[in-house]
């Protein structure tokens, strides 16, 4: 099972949504929503990037969550994503302090 398929199934079941409901909420045609989500969860097909963005939005998750092979990193992505802008700035400041270096990637202010 791919990381994407694993994370998709975990997120969907945690949300309490059926495959059909998640597919519909992600903009997939109701006639094929359940089958397509099943194929994604069983690693038979991979959705395109727009569909991944729509699935992520329906689950209130960042798209990057579906590609993180590390469980702790995936959890951090979700927590960070759900913070308001003030919380995100605080976390970034703390991360830079803990790392002991100036941020490697420029951050827009």
Q: Kindly report the CATH number assigned to the domain that includes residue 73.
A: 1.10.260.40
Confidence at residue 108, expressed as pLDDT on a 0 to 100 scale: 60
Helix (H, G, I), strand (E, B) or coil at 105: coil
Q: Which residues of the chain have pLDDT under 70?
A: 101-109
- Whether 55 maps to a domain, the answer reads yes
- Whether 15 maps to a domain, the answer reads yes
- Whether 24 maps to a domain, the answer reads yes
How many structural domains are present in the chain? 1
Residue 7 — φ and ψ, nearest 5°?
-65, -40
How far apart CA 33 and CA 27 sit, in angstroms, is 9
- Whether 108 maps to a domain, the answer reads no
- Whether 82 maps to a domain, the answer reads yes
CA-to-CA dists, residue 83 to 14, 25, 79, 89, angstroms: 19, 23, 7, 9
Confidence at residue 101, expressed as pLDDT on a 0 to 100 scale: 62
Helix (H, G, I), strand (E, B) or coil at 70: coil
Q: Which pTM value belongs to this model?
A: 0.85
How far apart CA 101 and CA 42 sit, in angstroms, is 42
Q: How far is Cα of residue 99 from the mean position of the Cα atoms in its chain? A: 25
CA-to-CA dists, residue 103 to 37, 92, 94, 97, angstroms: 38, 9, 11, 9
* Structural domain containing residue 91: 3-99
């Amino acid at each position: 099972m791919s990381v994407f398929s694993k994370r998709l199934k975990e997120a969907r079941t945690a949300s309490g949504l059926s495959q059909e409901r998640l597919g519909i909420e992600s903009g997939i045609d109701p006639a094929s929503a359940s089958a397509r989500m099943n194929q994604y969860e069983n690693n038979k097909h991979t959705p395109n990037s727009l569909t991944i963005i729509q699935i992520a939005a329906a689950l209130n998750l960042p798209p990057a969550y579906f590609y993180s092979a590390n469980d702790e990193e995936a959890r951090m992505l979700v927590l960070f994503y759900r913070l308001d802008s003030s919380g995100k700035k605080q976390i970034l400041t703390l991360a830079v302090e803990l790392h002991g270096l100036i941020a490697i990637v420029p951050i827009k202010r």
